[in-house]
Amino acid sequence: MSNQFEATHGHMDPLGASIKSNGVNFALYAPKATQAYLCLFDKSGHSEILKMAMNINEGGIWSIHIAPLNPGALYGFRVEGEYNPQKGLLFNENKLLIDPYAKDLFGEFTWSERHYGQMPIGTKSTVNNAIDIPKSKVAATALYTHKKPNHRWSNTVIYECHVKGTTCRHPKIPKSLQGKFLGLSHPSFIEHLHSFGITAVELLPVHAFISEQFLTGKGLQNYWGYNTLNFFTPHKGYLVNDDINEFKQMVKELHDADIEVILDVVYNHTAEAGTDGPILSLRGFDNLAYYRTVTDQPEIYINDTGCGNTINIDHPKTLQLVLDSLRYWVEVMGVDGFRFDLATILARSQSGFSASHTFLQAVAQDPILNKVKLISEPWDIGPGGYQLGAFPSPWREWNDQYRDVIKRFWKSEKGIVANLAKRLHGSFDIFEHSERGPLNSINFITSHDGFTLADLVSYEKKHNEANGEQNRDGHSGNHSFNCGVEGFTDDPKIIALRLQQQKNFYLRLFYPRECQ
């Protein structure tokens, strides 16, 4: 089979798969590896048809150029090197790795013991995982050239939504489009957005993601998407015909309707989880470069995310990966901005959070990224994790203090008038520094964390019994008021009161309007 292809040394740049000279150039970063291999697969993704040794270059970059090869080709990488978990080295040539720079993926991810580096514990696994992991797919990409709305922050009204949940039961959207990217750009949904005066949709995670094994073991799945498998590929479950260009079509149609697209992005951790997690991608290329570990104990991951691992944004190649991904979604996929989940993690080094962190400086100096909307969730569970007001201009920040005091006011709590006045005055006490002001606050009352607006006026306590976590998960500080009955009721007085309370929240959020 190798006689069908001509292999040459290839180029170091760009990383990933790039179409060049009647073929495809492949490049990956693995400086501690002893050998890296490119593996090509047939159209089914089941049979490995070629395994070629790649060539080492300066800076730990491995490369190879294969011709002839066309867009749509399926591939993966295998990397050899020392396997020593005590040193934080997890190379295992038996594990097919997803290209961190893959622009498209083919096939489904299936949980199995094949993905784990140690099997049994303490023994390097010799089992091939290729049958259970998606293949990276060579994609032909083009720059997004359509006109963008470019709304001023002072005119911005953001609608946070889940791609599936927002349209999966919309009666006016065709069933084939319900719960898909193209459902969000359907005229019926756009009409709904216009009726609210919405200028931007903020999509909950759309990067390719997988469900955690402990969920699938219970017959459940990760609905929200905060478990990223790849930073460049749109999630397959939101595509109608498995075509990544559907995402660009959605963006274009929303732009035509004068609506911007902001992505909720999860660059703080990945689906490879903690010490007992699988080897799927980054971990198999350079575990210590991509993940933060305890000083002098590289076998232990720092877990500031609560998800098992934490991205090592201090490493130059990890920083490059995140920046390259952000630029790709702007330049190629056409998005207008980002909301960074647990953003403080991306500005934390060994010495703690810094408003002048390399990541923040790199974004500020980038000619592409410094022109888009940048929103931080300014907290995490790590040391010094609460940093509301600490991000530099031009970053905007989710303002949980506004959220909570507004809820408490309409619940008729006492002793909050002074705090309420500050929030209604633009939270100057938080943002009036370094030429910042009210527009740096993203004011909101409900979001994907905690109760919806309907739940906020219908329940005193959370009721997450169905997912097997004994109601321990989910946000507890909702400051809610059920208006007299817990949950559903047919009492007309309570129904009317709940509707009035929801209207009160809407009125408070939009008048006066800073940036909601």
36, 18 contact by CB (below 8 A): no
User: Ramachandran region of residue 95, left (φ > 0), alpha (ψ -120 to 50) or beta?
Assistant: beta
Cα–Cα distance, 225 to 133 (Å, whole number): 18
In DSSP terms, which residues pair with 75 in a beta bridge?
Answer: 40, 136
Quick count: other Cβ atoms within 10 Å of Cβ 493?
10
| Residue that the structure tokens 């004011």 belong to | 443
Active-site residue 93, yes or no? Answer: no
Length of the chain: 516
The alpha carbon dihedral of 487, 491, 494, 496 has a sign of positive
Residue 341 is a catalytic residue: yes
Q: Please say whether the beta carbons of 167 and 180 come within 8 A.
A: yes
As to burial, measured by CB atoms within 10 angstroms (0-12 exposed, 13-18 middle, 19+ buried), residue 414 is exposed
**The dihedral formed by the CA atoms of 363, 368, 374 and 378, expressed in degrees to the nearest 10:** -20
Sheet-wide strand order for 441-442: 158-161, 200-203, 260-265, 337-340, 373-376, 396-398, 441-442
Tokens of 242: 């498995």
Say which of 253, 341, 397, 400 is annotated catalytic: 341
Spatial distance between the Cα atoms of 87 and 140, rounded to a whole number of angstroms: 39
CB 67 within 8 A of CB 21: yes
Which among 237, 204, 10 is positioned nearest to 109, based on CA atoms?
Answer: 237
| Residues 60 and 15 sit within 8 Å (Cβ to Cβ) | no
Residues near 185 by Cβ (< 8 Å), separated by ≥ 6?
249, 250, 251, 252, 253, 254, 257
- Helix (H) / strand (E) element for 422: namely helix 417-424
Instruction: Return the closest-CA partner of residue 387 out of 400, 404, 370.
Output: 400
Neighbouring C-alpha atoms within 13 Å toward the C-beta of 69 = 31
Distance CA 21, CA 14 (A): 14
Catalytic residue among 48, 246, 377, 400: 377
Residues catalogued as catalytic: 341, 377
